[in-house]
């Protein structure tokens, strides 16, 4: 956990708090729904790793659950945005086949979505709200285990589409 607020570090361009290199795809292929527990090949970093998103871009996330340690779905919540749930399925997400089954006509709009055990959920949103936004599992214990991340959405073309300065009377921690 960072010792300085991520939004504060972003706004003030503070170094040594985070890097903006969270990978767009898992660095190592993995069978999320396999029957055997294998090396997850997780890594730790001294700095938080965030995903940087260009203002007004369309973001698609595929949230993949496992069935390795327990049978438990995960309610994922995104701060600062509503998103559209465009797809869901059981098993490992297949980027060649599964997008053809997306509901792009009338997808439900949410800010929290369940990701089924051993399955996946695909969401989309327009990154039009600049700032640093937290996405996490709504089960508090899971957030502590690392089921969390943050996005930096870059400022837009003018001051009405940019992170606003903190209020002058904002108390310091």
Amino acid 88: pLDDT = 95
Amino acid 36: pLDDT = 61
Mean pLDDT over 115-139 rounds to 91
> What confidence tier does 70 reach under pLDDT thresholds 50, 70, 90?
low
| Lowest model confidence (mean pLDDT) among 8-12, 42-46, 82-86, 102-106 | 42-46
> What confidence tier does 124 reach under pLDDT thresholds 50, 70, 90?
very high
* Cβ 84 vs Cβ 125: under 8 Å: yes
Domains contained in the chain, CATH given = 56-159 (2.60.40.420)
* Cβ 132 vs Cβ 150: under 8 Å: yes
* Cβ 62 vs Cβ 122: under 8 Å: yes
pLDDT in tens, 149-167: 899 999 999 999 999 988 8
DSSP-derived 3-state class of residue 46: coil
> What confidence tier does 34 reach under pLDDT thresholds 50, 70, 90?
low
Amino acid 3: pLDDT = 79
């Amino acid at each position: 956990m960072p010792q300085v607020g991520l939004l504060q570090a972003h706004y003030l361009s503070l170094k040594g708090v985070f890097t903006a290199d969270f990978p767009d795809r898992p660095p190592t292929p993995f069978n999320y729904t396999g029957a055997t527990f294998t090396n997850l090949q997780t890594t730790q970093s001294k700095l938080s790793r965030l995903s940087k998103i260009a203002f007004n871009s369309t973001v698609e996330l595929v949230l993949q659950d496992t069935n390795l340690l327990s049978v438990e779905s995960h309610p994922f919540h995104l701060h600062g945005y509503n998103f559209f749930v465009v797809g869901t399925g059981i098993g490992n997400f297949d980027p060649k086949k599964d997008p053809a089954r997306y509901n792009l006509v009338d997808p439900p709009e949410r800010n929290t979505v369940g990701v089924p055990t051993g399955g996946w959920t695909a969401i989309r949103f327009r990154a039009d709200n600049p700032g640093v936004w937290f996405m996490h599992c709504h089960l508090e214990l899971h957030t502590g285990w690392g089921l969390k991340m943050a996005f930096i959405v870059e400022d837009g073309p003018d001051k009405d589409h940019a992170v606003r300065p903190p209020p002058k009377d904002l108390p310091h921690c």
